[in-house]
Amino acid sequence: MDTTLQDPLVGQVLDGRYRVDERIAVGGMATVYRAVDTRLDRVLALKVMHPDLATDASFVERFIREAKSVARLAHPNVVAVFDQGAEGAYVYLAMEYVAGCTLRDVVRERGALQPRAALDILEPVLAALGAAHRAGFVHRDMKPENVLIGDDGRVKVADFGLVRAVGSVTNTSGTVLGTVSYLAPEQIEHGTADTRADVYACGVVLYEMLTGTKPHTGDTPAQVLFQHLNEDVPAPSARFPGLAVELDELVASATARNPDVRPYDAVALLAQVRGARAALSEEQLDAVSPQALAGEGGVLGAAPSEDRTDVIPRVVPREEPGASHTARLAMPPSAPPSAPPRPARPAVPRRGVIAAVVAVLLALGIGTGVWYINSGQFTRVPALIGKTEQDARQALKKAGLEVKQVRRDFSETAARGTVIRSVPGTNERIRGNGSVTIIVSRGPEIVKVPELKGKPLAQAQRELRRVGLAPGVITKRFDDGVPQGAVISTEPGAGSGRSPDTAVSLVVSKGTPIDVPDVTGESVQDATSTLEDAGLKVKVAAEQIHSPEDAGTVARQSAGEGSRLARGDTVTLTVSKGPRMIEVPDVVGDNVDDATSALESAGFEVEVEKNFPFLGDEVASQSVAGGDEAPEGSTITIKTKGL
């Protein structure tokens, strides 16, 4: 039965403008319809909040925030929002309609994707998120359902309904919005999310595309949340050993449980993805999983509740006297058993000691409240401003404090990588064994690309990192004026202003080109000497081949005459075993044309001597008798009849 027939909105016109034609999808917070804008006569998608949520001011505000946020992005890989409005109980967004399917549909139908396809999808997703991150937004709900793949092949990111400004903190009393399978550990533990939470979700999506299954699954959402907090995302090659190590490294980098270890935002992850793609061979990019070869498809072990955006109970910190605020999550019923409990310590000694001290203090007339509060319960935050992140961590550890979180912010005065401020601030009191948030400088908001022409590649890469930019793709070309291994140019060029962590492509010189000499037919020793004198390296192939060249001489070279190589490049030489000896066909009595064809088909050159043409063209003799052997490629002479 078609449930859309029972939908009260289908066939209605919202706001006197949007005619609702068909229900497309139903989510945890909204329903999406295909509709027609009757004013502009165009098809669009209408996202309508569930009526029971429309009475909640926070949900309505989130809807409006989505419209404003996406309208500011205007990126080709982001689903555009055209309008926002409300009619009665219906609050809606009018959005771009993308004819096609979601990434969830693709993975559910096909299972694991080839690495090339997975990266082709991931790159535009990261481009869209990168634009959002650089515009100051965090998506917070990245998952395959929110990646749309159009019939024309375009990839677009949808559903910015949970978008937040970068740096803002969502810290609810025990709940967090999101989808359990893609929540970063810090979202679960602290209820906070910055650009690195989107990076984590993209890492999970990449793992799912490469393997056809989610890294963390369970019978209940609590079991999945527990795994996010306590288990690393496994390497994709652990499931399909044929996958390249570069893909394992991508997933591991993006899904590091410590957010400080992840790429800072989607732009930084995109640079890593492009670097990994450049390192993969065509065979590695087109690797096919055993699952695909067996004709299996679909996501394994995915509970429906794991795919929905929902309000999820989060791990609430539990405070204990004298201890840091730590998030705790009970072990789910079906999770592995925890370590056995340590033997209980007697309760009397500690309480007895405190009671005895209190008794003595009372006898001396000293107030116990002041003594208890100040006796080791609080300490002061040491001076951290100007220190490197590593030095700041050491200073806090020495003071008995922990780093709660590392945030990064722009600074025109503080050097990149040094501490700008801390929370709590310098010399403020904090409970003993407490934790401190440090804010580290990202350097200026706009960084100028340094002049790198003529500098060795390694030095150029170091200078880019020093000023806060990322070394990007390296291409090489011949250049007579720039030494081999030095930078010719950059893209963007020197002096260009870019945001920190932007990738800078480098063009590196291969030096003056060397014209490769022809050494076929020479002895290996002479050929090696000739090539080395030209500035090339030589490798001799282990296997020898038959060729017209004499045995022991060079039969073939990997770069032929006229090729251009860089100094230090390698030419591989293949040594000849001499020509093969093959049997000569008997062509006496055949006409010249047939005889020539037979000899050439056997692998010989043919020379014809016609004594008296008027006597006909029948072969009277051949230089090598039929049935004898001769070297392949050698010349056989045939003669016609004479007087």
Residue-wise pLDDT tens digits, 461-499: 999 988 888 898 899 999 999 999 999 999 999 998 887
User: Residue 547 corresponds to which tokens in the numbers above?
Assistant: 């060729």
Range among 9-13, 162-166, 201-205, 363-367 rated most confident: 201-205
Structure tokens at 337: 């058993």
Confidence of residue 444 (pLDDT cuts 50, 70, 90): confident
Nearest to 138 by CA among 166, 102, 169: 166
Which of 302-311, 349-358, 558-567 is modeled with the greatest confidence? 558-567
pLDDT tens-digit readout, 178-188:
678 899 998 88
Q: Which of 41, 120, 141, 265 is catalytic?
A: 141
Q: Whole-angstrom Cα distance, residue 199 to residue 139?
A: 10
- In the prediction, which pLDDT does 190 show? 80
> What pLDDT does residue 587 have?
93
pLDDT for 489: 95
- The predicted model gives 443-472 an average pLDDT of 90
Count other C-beta atoms under 10 Å from residue 434's C-beta. Answer: 20
Stronger pLDDT, 247 or 338, i.e. the higher one: 247
> Using one digit for the tens of pLDDT, what is the confidence trace for 354-388?
343 344 334 433 333 333 333 345 688 888 988 99
Element of type H or E holding 254: helix 245-254
Q: Which two tokens stand for residue 81?
A: 């929002």
Name the phi and psi angles at 221, rounded to 5.
-55, -35
**Residue 501 CB contacts under 8 Å (≥ 6 apart), including other chains:** 264, 265, 267, 268, 271, 442, 468, 469, 470
Question: Given this model, what pLDDT does residue 369 score?
Answer: 35
Q: Which residue has the higher pLDDT, 70 or 110?
A: 110
- The pLDDT assigned to 165 comes to 43
Mean pLDDT of 544-548: 89
Burial class (CB in 10 A: 0-12, 13-18, 19+), 255: buried
Residue 177 burial (CB count, 10 A): 24
Instruction: Find the length of the chain.
Output: 643
Gap between the Cα atoms of 298 and 279, Å rounded: 29
Confidence at 321, pLDDT banded by 50, 70, 90: very low
For residue 49, the surrounding DSSP H or E stretch is strand 42-49
194 alpha carbon, distance to own chain's centre:
18
The residue-averaged pLDDT of 318-345 equals: 38
Confidence of residue 613 (pLDDT cuts 50, 70, 90): low
Task: For residue 93, give the 3-state DSSP assignment.
Answer: strand
More confident residue, 296 or 423: 423
> In this predicted structure, what is the pLDDT of residue 177?
52
CA dihedral 441, 447, 452, 456 (to 10 degrees): 30
Residue 164: what pLDDT? Answer: 47
Cα torsion 165, 169, 171, 175: sign: positive
Q: Which comes out higher in pLDDT, residue 161 or 266?
A: 266
In the predicted model, what is the mean pLDDT of residues 246-264? Answer: 94
Q: What is the pLDDT of residue 161?
A: 53
DSSP character at residue 338: P
**Confidence band (pLDDT; 50, 70, 90) for 431?**
confident
Q: What pLDDT, on a 0 to 100 scale, did the predictor assign at position 590? A: 92
248 catalytically annotated: no
How confident is residue 346, by pLDDT bands cut at 50, 70 and 90? very low
Phi (first) and psi of residue 248, to 5 degrees: -60, -45
pLDDT at 377: 53
Q: Is the pLDDT of residue 636 over 70?
A: yes
Q: Assign 3 a pLDDT band (cuts: 50, 70, 90).
A: very low
As a whole-number percent, the residues of the chain with pLDDT over 70 amount to 81
More reliable by pLDDT, 346 or 61 = 61
Q: Mean pLDDT of all residues in the chain?
A: 81
Amino acid identity of 326?
Answer: T
Q: How far apart are the first and last CA of the chain?
A: 100
Residue 500 has pLDDT above 90, yes or no: no
| The pLDDT of residue 314 is above 60 | no
pTM of the model: 0.48
The answer on pLDDT for 302 being more than 80 is no
**In angstroms, rounded to a whole number, what is the distance separating the alpha carbons of residues 65 and 59?**
10
Q: Can you give the pLDDT at residue 326?
A: 34
CA angle at 24 for the pair 21 and 26, rounded to the nearest 5°: 125
The whole-number average pLDDT for the span 230-243 is 91
Q: What angle do CA 590, 592, 597 make, to 5 degrees?
A: 90
Report the distance separating Cα 603 and Cα 606, nearest Å: 10
**Integer CA distances (angstroms), 294 to 111, 112, 210, 387, in order:** 11, 11, 16, 56
The two three-digit tokens of residue 60, written as one number: 């309505």
Report the alpha-carbon distance of residue 588 to residue 580 in Å, rounded: 24
| Omega prior to 144 cis, within 30 of 0 | no
The reported pLDDT for the residue numbered 276 is 94
| Residue 402 to residue 434: CA distance in whole angstroms | 6
Instruction: Give residue 352's pLDDT.
Output: 42
Q: Which residues pair with 489 in a beta bridge?
A: 507
Confidence category of residue 561, pLDDT binned at 50, 70, 90: confident
Q: Are 183 and 176 in contact (CB under 8 A)?
A: yes
Percent of the chain with pLDDT over 90: 46
Residue 291 pLDDT = 60
Give the C-alpha distances (Å, rounded to integers) separating 310 from 139, 215, 326, 463: 15, 20, 24, 45
What does the pLDDT read at residue 363?
Answer: 41
Segment of 25-39, 133-147, 267-281 carrying the highest mean pLDDT:
267-281
pLDDT digits (tens, 9 = 90+) for 70-102: 777 778 999 988 888 888 888 898 999 998 889
Nearest to 145 by CA among 133, 161, 131, 130: 161
Lowest mean pLDDT among 19-33, 161-175, 292-306, 552-566: 161-175
* Structural domains present in the chain: 1-97 (3.30.200.20), 101-319 (1.10.510.10), 380-441 (3.30.10.20), 447-509 (3.30.10.20), 514-575 (3.30.10.20), 581-640 (3.30.10.20)
Strands 175-178 and 147-150: unpaired
3-class DSSP assignment, residue 25:
strand
Task: Give residue 335's pLDDT band: very low, low, confident or very high (50, 70, 90).
Answer: very low
- Residue written as tokens 């963390």? 216
